[in-house]
A and B are shown apart, each in its own frame.
Chain A
Amino acid sequence: MEPVLVANGLRRRFGDVNALDGLSLEVLPGELYGLVGPDGAGKTTTMRIFAGLMDPDEGTVHVLGSNPTDRRSGVREELGYMPQQYSLYGDLSVIENLRFFGALFCLERDVFIERTNRLLAITHLESFRDRRAEALSGGMYKKLALACALLHQPRVLLLDEPTNGVDPISRGELWELLYEFVESGMGVVVSTPYMDEASMCHRVGLIHRGRLLQQGRPADLVGRFVDTVIRVDRHDSGIEAVIAEHGDVILGVSPLGGGLRIVIRSQAADAVAEALRGAGATIEPVRPGFEDMFLSEIRAGGGT
């Protein structure tokens, strides 16, 4: 299958900051590609370069075989983009926003009506047709933005942190919507800072400091994780002392309920567990998650 999007060795500097430092990736039709990384990793810069809103200093992007900045190639008719920040007209209503963007893509009137009705139905926005965009909740707003980006039925869809600032229920709905479109053969790139959302994607690229650390199916990536994760039911000075003592083999500590979640190098796991039990803690193993994997990748990739 021909990839719908190919990025090769993208570099981009902003003053002294290396926002992108040699990023390459490919997205296939019908694939939901997740670009996962912390804030400032370079996700938005990547998305903007993909959308043709920014030129890379080095490297190339091809969307459906064309440079996305080339207006005459017709690639813009095939590209949908939803920016991270608010980008619709707050003083226009839901239907007016749709009508405006529909007109910019030169949709025929009956095509527009048919698609709008369908999009409003699946986003559950029908009853808000005449509400101003600025009066919508965060989740509804994002769904409207998604509808605006989907109006022209793009073959490639770029979503920059679509679930940022959206409540968990709406987040679930947004992902459901995405699956529907992906199934129809659309290639989707979605960026997110939420590690738990990585597992929702077909393929994931872990981005950090403008570079991809790892790329692959979420299950495979977590499967490569070799360290041990345990849960400790309490957090007191005794536990702290044990953690401090084994600082060289303990890779991460984070609060979990009333206790702690500890990532340990596997070869030292038994020794640390023994010491923690000696300090009076109850221990249970925890399945490593995407976040653990990501943090260990960052450590392996040379510091945070």
Chain B
Amino acid sequence: MSSALYAVMRKEFRQMTRDKRMMALLILAPTLQLFVLGFAANYDVDRIETATCDSDRTAASRALRQGLLADGTFIDVGPARDCRRPGDDIRDGRAKVVLVIPDGYARDLASGRTADVQVLVDGTNPVIGRYASSAASTYLNLVSARRQLPSLAAMSAAAGAEIRVPTISVAPRVLYNPAMRSAIFMVPGVSAMVLLIVTTIATAMGLAREREMGTLEQVMVTPISRSELLLGKVMPFVIVGLFDVLLALVVGTWVFHVPVRGSLAVLGLGTCLYLLSTVGVGLLISTVSRTQQQAIMGGFFVMMPAILLSGVMTPIENMPGWLQPVTWLNPVRFFVEILRGVLLKGAGVVDLWIPFVALAAFGPAVVALAVGRFRKRLA
């Protein structure tokens, strides 16, 4: 390593460790954010507030209601306030679901007629709405099927032969995340996001700060080359980023029980390629910024779409066809694929060759672009 490159790195580390706030931003903030966002970014739906409007008031109607509330997916908030307008409880937010059992429910069942039951669902949040209606239908279909068994038996006895109804039995088996806990899926995504924010902003500001403080002017008259200067400025942030990933793994496995099924070496390689991309983007931003403020603005301008188009929040396959190719320019997308693949599925470099090749191309390209754009001139 050239002495100038080493000198810039050492100086950068010294300034970083001396600045308490910077250290907090680089080490503490990402860990804390992962901890908080890991809990917050949760798509698991349970404890859906449920009101009941039981106009039947029979043992059968009570059994239906208790069955629905039994497993904790739906929790009881009591009877609806006005059974003539059951939607009121949803409108004022008291309940997400109202179960309406009309008068005559038990009577209809006993006489073998179809009994009508209504389930009102709050669809403002489609995730909760969809989940609530499907959970309610599943339960009610089950109850309905169970009610058919005695009739079927009676009919068989009457006919003197067993009457069969053909059915399909579905036994889904969920791989990699059998409990389907969203934290396991979200924590890798959030890690990639947090890492992007920290390293991109820190590098973008680093060079802009030197420009703003006037120190760049003194450095530029020395024989140091552009690549030595820029690499020296970004390498410390790559190292800090690797440390952050390690912390994220610790928090992820201990707090959120994210499995580590793949090889840490593969993960390390992916992280290095990803960090090269994020600091490269930061460098590129700093070559077009004169002040630290502009660097921060530029950073946000780039990071917002990078996060939203990464597949962390919403699946890329759900995006419209014309938008999907845009995500091919997004390093966050590829790192999230690597993280999820390695951690959850135990995938290797061969399984993940597409994101690996993409990152290996993007990082050096963006760093080279930044070095090319950077001029050892003041104006």
A binds B: yes
Residues on the A chain within 8 Å of B153, using CB: none
Main secondary structure of the interface of B (DSSP, over half): helix
Tell me the residues in window 204-239 of chain B with beta carbons closer than 8 Å to chain A beta carbons.
213-215, 217-225
Docked CA distance A90–B3 (Å): 22
Name the contact of B11 in the complex, choosing from A71, A82, A85, A89 (C-beta under 8 A): A89
Does A106 touch B at the CB level, under 8 Å?
yes
Does A104 touch B at the CB level, under 8 Å?
yes
Whether the pair A53, B220 counts as a contact (CB closer than 8 A) is: yes
Identify the interface centre among A77, A79, A83: most chain B CB within 10 Å of its CB: A83
Whether the pair A83, B214 counts as a contact (CB closer than 8 A) is: yes
Interface flags, B2-14, vs A, CB<8A=1, else 0: 0110111011001
Residues on the A chain within 8 Å of B46, using CB: none
Tell me the residues in window 251-272 of chain B with beta carbons closer than 8 Å to chain A beta carbons.
none
Residues on the B chain within 8 Å of A99, using CB: 7
Does B378 touch A at the CB level, under 8 Å?
yes
Whether the pair A104, B379 counts as a contact (CB closer than 8 A) is: no
Whether the pair A51, B222 counts as a contact (CB closer than 8 A) is: no
Does B108 touch A at the CB level, under 8 Å?
no
Whether the pair A105, B222 counts as a contact (CB closer than 8 A) is: yes
Does A100 touch B at the CB level, under 8 Å?
yes
Whether the pair A106, B4 counts as a contact (CB closer than 8 A) is: yes
Closest A residue to B225 using CB positions? A71
Docked CA distance A104–B215 (Å): 13
The verdict on A100 contacting B221 (CB below 8 Å), with A91-B15, A91-B19 known, is no
Whether the pair B222, A104 counts as a contact (CB closer than 8 A) is: yes
Interface flags, A39-65, vs B, CB<8A=1, else 0: 000000000100111110000000000
Nearest chain B CB to A216's CB is how many angstroms away? 29
Whether the pair A87, B214 counts as a contact (CB closer than 8 A) is: yes
Residues on the B chain within 8 Å of A119, using CB: none
Residues on the B chain within 8 Å of A208, using CB: none
Whether the pair A52, B4 counts as a contact (CB closer than 8 A) is: no
Docked CA distance A105–B18 (Å): 25
Interface residues on A, range: 20 to 34
Docked CA distance A148–B221 (Å): 12
Interface flags, A74-117, vs B, CB<8A=1, else 0: 10110101110111111110001001110111100000000000
Whether the pair A76, B222 counts as a contact (CB closer than 8 A) is: yes
Name the contact of B224 in the complex, choosing from A79, A87, A104, A145 (C-beta under 8 A): A104
Nearest chain B CB to A52's CB is how many angstroms away? 7
Does B173 touch A at the CB level, under 8 Å?
no
Identify the interface centre among B8, B18, B221: most chain A CB within 10 Å of its CB: B221
Tell me the residues in window 315-346 of chain B with beta carbons closer than 8 Å to chain A beta carbons.
none
Name the contact of B378 in the complex, choosing from A53, A90, A101, A104 (C-beta under 8 A): A53
Residues on the A chain within 8 Å of B217, using CB: 53, 83, 85, 87
Docked CA distance A145–B215 (Å): 11
Does B377 touch A at the CB level, under 8 Å?
yes
Nearest chain B CB to A86's CB is how many angstroms away? 6
Whether the pair B7, A91 counts as a contact (CB closer than 8 A) is: no
Whether the pair B218, A88 counts as a contact (CB closer than 8 A) is: yes
Nearest chain A CB to B210's CB is how many angstroms away? 9
Docked CA distance A48–B379 (Å): 10
Whether the pair A92, B11 counts as a contact (CB closer than 8 A) is: yes
Whether the pair B218, A101 counts as a contact (CB closer than 8 A) is: yes
Nearest chain B CB to A155's CB is how many angstroms away? 14
22 contacts between A and B (CB under 8 A): A53-B217, A69-B376, A76-B222, A76-B223, A81-B221, A83-B218, A85-B214, A87-B213, A91-B15, A100-B10, A101-B218, A103-B3, A103-B4, A103-B6, A103-B7, A104-B219, A104-B222, A104-B223, A104-B224, A105-B223, A106-B3, A145-B218
Beyond A100-B11, A105-B223, A106-B4, 19 additional pairs, beta carbon < 8 A: A14-B379, A48-B378, A52-B221, A53-B376, A54-B379, A69-B377, A76-B223, A82-B218, A85-B217, A86-B214, A87-B213, A87-B214, A88-B215, A88-B218, A89-B15, A91-B19, A92-B15, A100-B10, A148-B218
Pairs A-B, 8 closest by C-beta atoms: A103-B7, A87-B218, A104-B222, A81-B221, A76-B223, A87-B214, A85-B214, A83-B217
